[in-house]
Structure formats: structure tokens, C-alpha cells
Amino acid sequence: MVVLKNIAVFASGRGSNFAAILDKIQKGEIAGRVVCVISDNEHPPVFDIANAVGIPTFCINRKQFATPEEYANALLSILESHKVDLIVLAGFLKLIPTPVVRKYPWAIVNIHPALLPNFGGKGFYGMKVHEAVIASGVKFTGVTIHFVDEKYDTGAIICQEKVAVLPDDTPESLAARVLEVEHRLYPEVVKALCEDKIKYVNGKVVWEK
């Protein structure tokens, strides 16, 4: 019997990566189900995608709470009540609080639209990443999927895929080509995580293919 993993998606905005993952779940290609979508925004487009298929959504923002502890507890209480096994960050712009990182070791992943450690860290999000890539003159950018630790974009890397930067690229054209790769790669990683095929062993990420 296949045991489905319970997935929480954290997303701040559009939710196209969430939609790509949901599509593979609906096709039965991923042994998981998205049990909740959490955002730091009140009405992000990603909530419409979730609501359309009856997935519960929650707006949890640090500003709603008096202390960092209360904020972390609010997140933990949703994650625990939905029996979450895996947390997938898909365009989530806030840091994951330490108690949440500690409670879900090697079970939180993020996608970044560049080849980390380059063009990553605080302030490198959305179109800013692609603008910086083009301004730097590098020939390649890409996609990185990594485990999440307590800082921005520094967790152990699971996989990376290169995307060429073309001479006439604008940040928008580059973002669109990078996004195509994201939509293919992220569902593959989530599928492998749901099958326990990606592990962190002896300081290294191992993906059993």
C-alpha cells in the first residue's frame, strides 16, 4: 500500500510552482497530497488555485503576533493539525522560523530561480534575481532546489539545472525560460521526496534514482 505524504505548501504570490506540483498529484504521479497552503499574504493568487480544489488556506504573518514564538507556534499548530510530513516552499518570501526548521529536519524544501550560491540570499527574489543575472553578464543561470535551513537560500542543495542566458534576454524572457525548468524539476523532486528517495546522509544529499 502506498502511504501518501501530507504536504504543506508555503507561497507568497502567484503559485505557478504549486500548480505544477498539484497537476502531477492529480495525475497520480506523486505519492502525496497537499493538505494546506500557507501564505504571509491575505489574498494571494495561490489561494485561488488551492480553494478551487478545496485545499484549506491560511494567512499567517509575523505581524499578526506579538512575539516570534507565537508566530512559530501558529505555524506549528497548523502543520501539526494537518499531520504534515513535507513542507514545500514555492515562492515564499519569508524566513522559516527556527522552531519550524528544527521540527521538520530534512523535510522542508525551496526552489530558487538561479544557480545558488550565486544570486541568492536576502533581497534576491522574483525579477530581482533575473535582473542581477543579466546585469552581471554571466552566460548561464538556472534553477536550484535545496533543503531549507534557518537562513535564506543556504541549505543543502538537492539539484540544480542550468539555463543559458541569451544575448537578447530581458529579465522577463529569462524568467519565463527558468520557470519552465522549475515547473518540470520541482514536481520531480517532490515526487522523489514522497517516495523517500532523497536523503541527507553523512553530510551529503543522496538522490536514489
* Active site residues per annotation: 112
Q: Is the C-alpha dihedral spanning 132, 135, 137, 140 positive or negative?
A: positive
Q: Is 120 near ligand GRF (CB under 6 A)?
A: no
Peptide bond into 167 cis (omega under 30): no
> Least CB distance from residue 89 to ligand GRF, whole Å?
7
Is 50 among the residues that bind ligand GRF (CB under 6 A)? no
Q: Does 142 bind ligand GRF (CB under 6 A)?
A: no
Residue 15 sits in the site that holds ligand GRF (CB under 6 A): yes
Identity of residue 196: D
Taking the complex as a whole, the smallest distance from the CB of residue 47 to ligand GRF amounts, in Å, to 12
Q: Is 34 in the site for ligand GRF (CB under 6 A)?
A: no
Q: Work out whether 16 is an interface residue with ligand GRF (CB under 6 A).
A: yes
What would the DSSP string read from start to end of 115-134? -TTTT-STT--THHHHHHHH
Q: Which residue has the cell 502506498?
A: 2
HSE toward the beta carbon, residue 188, CA cutoff 13 A: 14
Residues that bind ligand GRF (CB under 6 A): 11, 13-17, 90-91, 111-113, 179, 182
